[in-house]
């Protein structure tokens, strides 16, 4: 067949069509790969703002002074929301109003999540001020008397925490065989001073000192009220109540959660905490 005839033959037309289709398909494939790559890169940038919730005081200061600047250096926008209670921060985290919260120890988290049916995950510990017994109307431990009033937190896990501390102090005895992290006022079997326990919301405890003989105050609320730990008549000994940074379980492996955890464990944050939070209990993972 002459060359010119071959170029115009049905076979040649078929080959051209096949080649054109292949080129078109290849172009689509390349375009799809390029789109997928762009989409993948974009997905890494979808979390542009991190909303962090804390109780007022030290945990908020940690975010403002160190965590926020570190995350902003990585390109995030960071918003801090402060709370004065121990309920709303977990509800806000679960409903998506927050991305991260920092205010609670693990026993409280586990109890709250179970009771409310929430799926929340702790990702790293944070420096935590110890719970302490502070003076009220009475100024010293040896001033305790028959029927002295002692204000303690009314939420179950912090109430247990306070009772354990009072037991360590020798002011009362709890039942044997109970889970000490779930102890309540009903588990007190020996109360030699007939102490009257006054249950209050944790945030109200610093202000209760004028009305009771002694007050058991959470470290963060003591700090936010300007009460130095050195004024504590007795400080808790347990390390079971170090506080945690928490996210939704579904977010625990997300890049933003890992970046938050890294900020709380950075050399910059450790140096800041060592100067700013003297007397606090530091994360066990820090060593020393």
What is the tens place of the pLDDT at every residue in 270-287?
Answer: 999 999 999 999 998 898
Instruction: Tell me which residue of 65, 7, 17, 79 sits closest to 277, measured CA to CA.
Output: 65
Torsion, Cα 40 92 86 111, to 10 degrees, reads: -70
For domain 49-128+242-277, the CATH superfamily is Periplasmic binding protein-like II (3.40.190.10)
Tell whether the model's pLDDT for residue 256 goes beyond 70: yes
Tell whether the model's pLDDT for residue 30 goes beyond 50: no
More confident position, 37 or 226:
226
Average pLDDT over residues 62-83: 98
- For strand 49-55 and strand 77-83, is the pairing parallel, antiparallel, or unpaired? parallel
- pLDDT at position 36 is 40
For domain 132-235, the CATH superfamily is Periplasmic binding protein-like II (3.40.190.10)
Q: Which residues, 6 or more positions from 230, have their beta carbon under 8 angstroms from its beta carbon?
A: 279
Average pLDDT over residues 171-194: 93
- pLDDT at position 264 is 99
- For strand 100-105 and strand 243-248, is the pairing parallel, antiparallel, or unpaired? antiparallel
State the greatest distance between any 2 C-alpha atoms of the chain, in Å, as a whole number.
Answer: 121
Tell whether the model's pLDDT for residue 86 goes beyond 70: yes
Average pLDDT of the residues of the chain: 87
Q: What backbone torsions phi and psi does residue 201 show, to the nearest 5 degrees?
A: -60, 140
Q: In which residue ranges of the chain is CATH 3.40.190.10 found?
A: 49-128+242-277, 132-235
Dist. CA 179–CA 276, nearest whole Å: 34
- pLDDT at position 240 is 84
What token pair was written down for 265? 């464990």
- pLDDT at position 288 is 60
Helix residue ranges per DSSP H, the chain: 3-7, 10-44, 58-62, 68-73, 88-94, 106-116, 156-169, 219-224, 255-264, 267-276
Cβ neighbour number for residue 203 with a 10 Å cutoff: 21
């Amino acid at each position: 067949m002459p060359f010119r005839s071959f170029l115009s033959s049905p076979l040649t037309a078929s080959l051209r069509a096949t080649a054109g289709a292949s080129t078109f398909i290849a172009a689509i494939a390349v375009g799809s790969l390029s789109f997928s790559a762009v989409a993948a890169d974009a997905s890494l940038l979808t979390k542009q703002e991190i909303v962090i919730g804390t109780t007022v005081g030290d945990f908020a200061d940690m975010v403002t002074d160190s965590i926020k600047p570190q995350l902003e250096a990585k390109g995030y926008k960071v918003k801090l929301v402060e709370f004065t209670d121990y309920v709303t921060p977990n509800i806000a985290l679960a409903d998506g109003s927050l991305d991260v919260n920092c205010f609670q120890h693990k026993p409280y988290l586990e109890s709250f999540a179970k009771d409310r049916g929430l799926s929340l995950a702790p990702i790293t510990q944070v420096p935590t001020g110890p719970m302490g017994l502070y003076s009220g109307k009475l100024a010293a431990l040896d001033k305790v008397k028959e029927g002295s009033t002692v204000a303690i937190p009314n939420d179950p896990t912090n109430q247990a925490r306070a009772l354990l501390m009072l037991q360590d102090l020798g002011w009362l005895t709890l039942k044997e065989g109970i889970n000490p992290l779930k102890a309540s006022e009903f588990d007190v079997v020996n109360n030699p001073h007939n102490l009257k326990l006054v249950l209050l919301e944790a945030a109200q405890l610093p202000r209760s000192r004028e009305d009771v003989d002694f007050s058991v105050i959470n470290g963060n609320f003591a700090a936010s009220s300007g009460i130095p730990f050195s004024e504590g008549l007795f400080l808790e000994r347990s390390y079971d109540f170090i506080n945690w940074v928490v996210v939704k379980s579904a977010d625990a492996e997300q890049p933003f959660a890992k970046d938050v955890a890294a900020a709380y464990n950075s050399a910059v944050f450790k140096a800041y905490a060592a100067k700013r939070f003297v007397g606090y209990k530091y994360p066990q993972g820090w060593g020393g």
